[in-house]
Chain A
Amino acid sequence: MSDYRRVKMVVNSQLVEREVEVRRLLVDFLREDLGLASVHIGCEHGVCGTCTVLLNGETIRSCITFAVQADGQEITTVEALSQGGKLHPLQEAFWDQQGLQCGYCTPAMILRSLEILRDTPNPTRAEVREGIAGQLCRCTGYQFIVDAVLDGAQRMRAASAVAAAATEAPQEPVLVGMHAEGTPADEITSSGHPPSSQPPGSPLSKTEHGPAPDEVARHVAEEEPYEDEPHRLAGEGENRGAITQQPPVEEEQRP
């Protein structure tokens, strides 16, 4: 039963190569092999959504996904959001609104909320409620989570507007890791990956974890594609993937 495969994937902008047992669940791979403690195990049968991560920018349930299924793909977890010691605007909103209690569902809830806000930057309460319906929270009764997502949406729209004005390039996607107070133009990349010049102390700057982030995409892209499915990374080709990008700022904001 010990059948191993070599997998290579980009996890939070880092290239990762490992031998994994084919039956190893992605959630265990992320938690135990990569030390990503934000990914939590809840029901273990794909119902509660606590194990949610982003695969190529789309939410998936890592407790019912094998690690080998993520081979050649890009995974994003909450560890990627707070950069340089600063919380993401959505995290700030969850904090301000007390959109969490025990915190166990929170990373998954934040990732799903980012996905909602990518598709609907200015959602209604009802849209947020429906959008998070696949994520169980046993503590909050959801109301303050909805408050937080709406608050976060506003902060992210404001950040996008500031960033767009700073770059005079409204169509340019921006890092979600930016702080609401404003963003230096040099932190904006088109790939959705963090800039190569990471601040000291950032986990992304540690070269022992892999090549510099902007080499990652090229490196993986040069790999042989899979036989049954073309290799695709977030930021390449169609732009749907990367949740680490914000959509362009809409001209007309809904009230």
Chain B
Amino acid sequence: MTQSTDQHDGAERKWVGKSIRRVEDPRFLTGRGHYVDDISLPGMLHAATLRSPYAHARITRINVEAARQLPGVVAVVTGAEAAELCNPMPDFGPAPDKHVWRCLAYEKVRYVGESVVAVVAESRYIAEDARDLIEVEYEPLAPVVDPEAALEPGAALVHDALGSNLAYERTFKFGEVDRDFAEAEVVVRDRLRWHRSSGQPLETVGAVADFDIGSGKLTIYCNSLTFTHFLFMVANTLNVPSNKLDMIPINAGGSFGSKFWAVKVPVVAGMLAKLVGRPVKLIEDRLDNISNSDHHGSDRIYEAEMAAMRDGTLRSLRLKVIDDYGAYIQFGTGTHGNSLAQLTGPYRIKSAQYQLQAALTNKNQQGAYRGFGSEVTNWMVERMVDLVARQLQMDPVAIRRMNFIQPDQFPYFIPTGNMYDSGNYEAVLNKAVEMLDYDAWRKEQERLRQQGRYVGIGVISAQERSVFSATEFWFWFDEPAAKVTSSPESVRLNVDATGSVTATLYSQAFWGQAAETMVAQLVAEEFDVDPYSVAVVYAGSNNGLPATGPGGSRFTVMVAGAVRGAAERIKDKAFKVAEHLLEANVADLEWHDGAVRVKGNPSRSKSLAEIALWTHLFKHSLPDEIESGLEANKVYDHPYTTMPNADRTNLGVFYPFVGHACHLPVIEVDIETGHISFLKYVAVHDAGTVVNPRSLAGQVVGGTAQGIGTALYEQFVYGPDGQLLTGSYMDYLIPTSMEVPELEIGHVETPSPFTVHGIKGGGEGGRMMTPAALSAAIDDALSPFGVRCNELPATPDRIVQWIEAARDKQTSTG
């Protein structure tokens, strides 16, 4: 792999910036990963749920007697019984009482796969046997499948109480949109269709719940623990006091957003454990994770218009978006908050209009998938820029270069109100162009076209917003229920009597993205210790500190702030101890290489280990005010948030640490089969200061692989009757090693002026760039036909159809 880094930050760092091997890996390499399904408690039972075969139906009768009679079955719980045991699921959407979401379907099923009955038995085998004995009678209702038809008058209703399938609608206007369109010399329009896919981690969502009837405490081990300050809502669902719910984070075997607040499985397990008084394990099977997940990705239809001048200057963007949220709307329109964070891309576009209609249909609900909606925005923006370039016959590199926000314009406020902290987009583009040898490939493309080969070069330059704040979940509403402003991350550092450091994390930080290595390197940087000597552990929520967890590429930035804050507190105390031990004034002391020393007299110093020993064992040899021990907590809050204005013409700063990337794939399209092969792929990312370059590169490659899936292969297809037609990996196609090319990766480092070490998030960038890049490459390869890639995934089937349609058009007009 080619990997090169342009470093722009002059700071001297010992551990941040080193590609050390990951501290968490030995336990995974040896198969001792301790995932949630590896947990086994004494007396533990196993649960399975019966899923709906209908997209939309009334439940008229359920007979569970035969299931209850089966030897080994301990309990069978119907949706109606669950509605007695539990309150509705936590819902952050608009008007949650109008589209109530429950852990088991009640009265009505609203998508194929929705859980209807839960069974608890001595083994999963028996639970599934019993599930087969359950009789459910349904009265099928008209399925609501197409999101545009769902919004038509007279459409069947997914939720009767709402009275329509429109969960939310709003039009935002940022800047002088009408003027910019009126003055534009060029306006391009297109309809863009992005179909739904999802993270599909190889490990599904699971939970083991254990209810202690003596104390009333409900412990739930699960692979999703985020937003600990909102867990009182889960406790409310489960009818337990919030201080009697302890959620214990367990390593996740991948998430990609799909374990970002995935609470349905923990709730079902918790409900069952409370009911039967024994531990209960519930692990989604693959069909659950595909058809009954908390988190399908975005599913959007754009009617997009972009205004520009004849010289290529981009002026404005006007959008109408319909998003198919499926049957429930747990996060409201947060995925469009992400869109508004970087709506105008890296360009000096002065105004934008955004009309959103959130549709409810009889499909699995939407949630998070790597990019959380902003990856779709990147695709849309880049598609529209390409359309302007096509119209003006401009090179795609040239039009981007002339519209970039310039390095001296940061911090830059985009029309929506969000801020981009820093950036050097031209440096990223230049590096990518140089790594690819863009001009040489243009010549090569020309040469190959003479031979009848359809080679295309994709050029995109797009944003990677990171570190969300809480306002994006409510600025949608004029009168939100609560204007929440907290999205903290916490850490506790303990220095024991030998000077060894333990870092405690309070969310389920490990999704695969090296969270523990990040913490170990950051702690090592603070104390000049070996990162492998740092122990990283997790605390349960019951005795925890506020934590939001990973998601929105926030974890490394936030935990770096927390580690810095806790380390400063420990050092403050260490200086006080050293002041006494070295008989020096604190003003004359400095931290150097793991010790406090007297300035100008390196021989007079006390190491962290020496100071730790004193604080732990020799309290009465120290000044009275110094307590025993050497530890500190830090609750680190979002470092840069501003409030939206009253009329929402400015949403404030809510996603401010904005990375950037340029992807340049070179592909060849087989016009007979629609097959795409890669000739080269260059990806240059700027995520600010990089903590572990190899790890970040791994995120880029992995995210790009997922982006290839999104762009070319992956789609949850629902038939006209609402049946899910892609219920297995035979139909839902995840890229293998043969579909993913070798990437050449470059990093540019433009440190953030607002974060510790200048770090920006970098975990989602690959998937946020690739769909746009491949769409551009497909257009470029098929430019002789005038094909326009405006629907993803661009499956071989679609590509062949596009070519045929274009040929027909050429024939009829020629």
Per the bound structure, the CA–CA distance linking A23 and B128 in Å amounts to: 13
Which stretch in B252-260, B319-327, B344-352, B571-579 binds the other chain?
Answer: B252-260
Which residues of chain A from 135 to 163 have any CB-CB distance to chain B below 8 Å in the complex?
135-147
Greatest chain B CB density within 10 A among A38, A79, A103 is at: A103
- A165-213 residues with Cβ-Cβ distance < 8 A to B are none
In the bound complex, CA of A156 to CA of B705 (Å) = 29
Complex contact B737–A138 (CB within 8 A): no
Complex contact B695–A138 (CB within 8 A): no
B-side interface residues, number (CB < 8 Å): 62
Interface-located stretch among B89-97, B197-205, B752-760, B794-802: B197-205
Q: Is the CB of B31 within 8 A of A139?
A: no
Question: What residue in chain B is nearest A107 (Cβ atoms)?
Answer: B31
Q: How many A-B residue pairs have CB under 8 A?
A: 184
Q: How far is the CA of A106 from the CA of B729 in the complex (A)?
A: 19
Neighbour of B31 across the interface among A77, A98, A142, A147, CB < 8 A: A77
Q: With A102-B253, A106-B29, A139-B254 known to touch, is A144 a contact of B701 (CB < 8 Å)?
A: yes
Is chain B's interface secondary structure helix, strand, loop, or mixed overall? loop
Please report the C-alpha to C-alpha distance between residue A133 and residue B739 in the assembled complex, in whole angstroms. Answer: 9
Q: Are A45 and B729 in contact (CB under 8 A)?
A: yes
> Contact between A104 and B253 (Cβ–Cβ < 8 Å)?
yes
Residues in B with CB closer than 8 Å to A87 are 26, 29-30
Contacts of B694 in A (CB 8 A): 98, 144
Residues of A contacting B25 in the complex (Cβ-Cβ under 8 angstroms): 94-95, 98, 100, 103
Contact A106 B28 (CB under 8 A): yes
* B129 interfacial contact with A, CB 8 Å: yes
Question: Which of A124-132, A214-222, A232-240 interfaces with chain B?
Answer: A124-132
Contact of B225 with A by CB under 8 A = no
Cross-interface CB contact of A40 among B24, B203, B699, cutoff 8 Å:
B203
Complex Cα–Cα for A139 and B256 (A): 9
A24 close to chain B: CB less than 8 A: yes
A-binding segment of B34-42, B51-59, B389-397: B34-42
Contact A95–B701 (Cβ < 8 Å): no
What residue of chain B has the Cβ atom nearest to residue A23's Cβ? B125
Query: Which of A37, A91, A146, A147 touches B737 (beta carbons < 8 Å)?
Result: A146
Report which of B21, B201, B695, B703 forms a contact with A95, defined as CB distance below 8 A.
B21
Is the Cβ of B513 less than 8 Å from the Cβ of A101?
A: yes
Which B178-214 residues have C-beta < 8 A from chain A? Answer: 199-203
Q: Which residue of B lies closest to A106 (CB)?
A: B28
Residues of B within 8 A of A50 (CB): 202
- State A182–B697 Cα separation when bound (angstroms): 32
Report the minimum CB–CB distance from B22 to chain A (whole Å): 6
Cβ contact within 8 Å between B698 and A140: yes
Query: Which residues of the other chain, A, contact B129 by a CB distance below 8 angstroms?
Result: 1
- Distance in angstroms from A176 CB to nearest chain B CB is 14
Query: For residue A47, which residue of chain B has the nearest CB?
Result: B729
Interface contact B31-A101, CB-CB below 8 Å: no
Q: Is B730 a contact of A129 with CB atoms below 8 Å?
A: no
Chain B residues lying within 8 Å of A36, measured Cβ to Cβ, are 31
Are A79 and B30 in contact, CB atoms less than 8 angstroms apart? yes
Nearest opposing residue in chain B for A125, CB measure? B742
Cβ–Cβ contact B736 & A82, under 8 A: no
* Residue A64 is within 8 A (CB to CB) of chain B in the complex: no
Check if A101 sits within 8 Å of B514, measured CB to CB: yes
Contacts of A31 in B (CB 8 A): 37-38
State whether B29 touches A94 (Cβ < 8 A): yes
CA distance A101 to B124 in the complex (A): 29
Cross-chain contact of B26 among A23, A95, A102, A139 (Cβ < 8 A): A95
Contacts of A40 in B (CB 8 A): 35, 37, 202-203, 253
A-facing mask of B283-300, CB < 8 A → 1, else 0? 001100000000000000
Given A37-B38, A98-B698, A106-B29, also A141-B740 (CB < 8 A): yes
Interface string of B687-708 (1 = CB under 8 A from A): 0000000110111011111100
Question: Could you name 27 residue pairs across A and B whose Cβ atoms are closer than 8 Å?
Answer: A31-B38, A38-B32, A38-B33, A39-B31, A40-B202, A40-B203, A40-B253, A42-B202, A43-B286, A44-B286, A45-B728, A48-B729, A78-B31, A82-B30, A101-B512, A102-B202, A103-B28, A104-B201, A106-B31, A129-B737, A134-B736, A138-B254, A140-B702, A141-B703, A141-B704, A143-B701, A146-B737
Report which B residues bind A (CB closer than 8 A). Answer: 1, 19, 21-22, 24-35, 37-38, 40, 124-125, 129, 199-203, 251-256, 285-286, 510-514, 694-695, 697-699, 701-706, 728-730, 734, 736-738, 740, 742-743, 766
Known A-B contacts: A82-B30, A102-B512, A106-B28. Give 7 more (CB < 8 A).
A87-B29, A95-B25, A98-B19, A98-B21, A102-B202, A106-B31, A143-B701
